Amino acid sequence: MTNDAARDGPDADVCAAGRVEAALLANRPALEEVVDGCWVWRFARGYTRRANSLQSLDAGDDGDVEARLARHWTRSRRAGIAPCFRVTPLTPPAVLRVLERNGFQRQGHSLVMVCSDPGEVVSGTFAEGGTRWRVLTCPVSDPDWQKAIMGLEDIGAADRKVFGELLGQLPSCATGLLAAGEDGQVVGAAYGSCSGKVASIFSVIVARPFRGQGIGTFLMRRFMGWSGRQGADCLALQVVADNGAAISLYSKLGFAVSHAYHYRMLNR
């Protein structure tokens, strides 16, 4: 059987994908993780599939697949989350066979994009259409930044506590960005972190009335410059495959598709 994730996009360089996937896990830890060989089970009280799923970091780690999956699904159910496997080019074909045989349904289709050129450090202000914008750098522990990002991402009251706890798990270098107008109104935000020489940006969001004014591009360039100062030689991000506007923006900034991924879930 051919790995489903590899069929979703260009032939993946598995070694490069492994480096990026390991860095994505390190850059955005869950609340709880269990390492089983090259498999990693993650838990964050149900907030996001990525932080509440099992995945493999080595396509060759295919020993005792059925028993290992059963143990992890027992762990998931005890934690109150549905069994979920994140399928990447690093997923052993034997795992996919077992998941399909047991009725796990495919959900989602996303891309990991990477850039090997962080770019130059840019200033904290820019002008567009007669309006001057400024971008502030904040620690992710800053209450004002947290309030802004949660509002822009429309994170509900039930998820705000776990979102704050996940922010507390980020590497100490993690940084937040805020974009604001001359009147101080916050119109955009972003955040990310760096592990080793791979930086990851997790979210770039601009309030709907202010989109199309270059704010998202400037937030990206600001983060890219920050990652270069951290010593990163690779930047990685994840994007839903049908988000054409975001993919176009990232491509113009030098990002290219590394690999695709999706989830297999059992909803019973």
What is the dihedral angle through the alpha carbons of 15, 253, 229, 166, rounded to the nearest 10 degrees?
A: -70
Tell whether pTM > 0.95.
no
- List the structure tokens of 173: 């270098």
The model's confidence at residue 48, banded by pLDDT at 50, 70 and 90, is very high
- List the structure tokens of 60: 């060759």
What is residue 7's predicted lDDT score, i.e. its pLDDT?
43
pLDDT tens-digit series, residues 55-113: 999 999 999 999 999 999 999 999 999 999 999 999 999 999 999 999 999 999 999 99
Mean pLDDT of 40-51: 97
- List the structure tokens of 33: 């993780």
What is residue 123's predicted lDDT score, i.e. its pLDDT?
78
pLDDT at 1 over 50: no
Mean pLDDT of 139-166: 96
pLDDT at 44 over 80: yes
Please give the Cα distance from 38 to 93 (Å, whole number). 14
Terminal C-alpha separation, the chain: 26
> Domain segments of the chain: what residues?
4-110+261-265, 125-232
Q: Dihedral of CA 151/152/158/163: which sign?
A: negative
CB 238 within 8 A of CB 86: no
pLDDT tens-digit series, residues 115-136: 998 877 777 888 877 788 999 9
Share of the chain above pLDDT 70, in %: 95
CB 178 within 8 A of CB 188: yes
pLDDT at 203 over 80: yes
The model's confidence at residue 178, banded by pLDDT at 50, 70 and 90, is very high
What is residue 112's predicted lDDT score, i.e. its pLDDT?
97
- List the structure tokens of 184: 């101080």
Nearest residue to 258 via CA among 231, 243, 239 = 239
What is the dihedral angle through the alpha carbons of 166, 168, 170, 172, rounded to the nearest 10 degrees?
A: 180
The model's confidence at residue 268, banded by pLDDT at 50, 70 and 90, is low
What is residue 9's predicted lDDT score, i.e. its pLDDT?
41
Is CATH 3.40.630.30 what the domain over 125-232 is classified as, yes or no? yes
What is residue 127's predicted lDDT score, i.e. its pLDDT?
81
Bin 254: left if φ > 0, else alpha if -120 < ψ < 50, else beta.
Answer: left
CB 24 within 8 A of CB 200: yes
pLDDT at 12 over 80: no
What is residue 17's predicted lDDT score, i.e. its pLDDT?
92
Share of the chain above pLDDT 90, in %: 84
Mean pLDDT of 136-152: 95
CB 2 within 8 A of CB 17: no
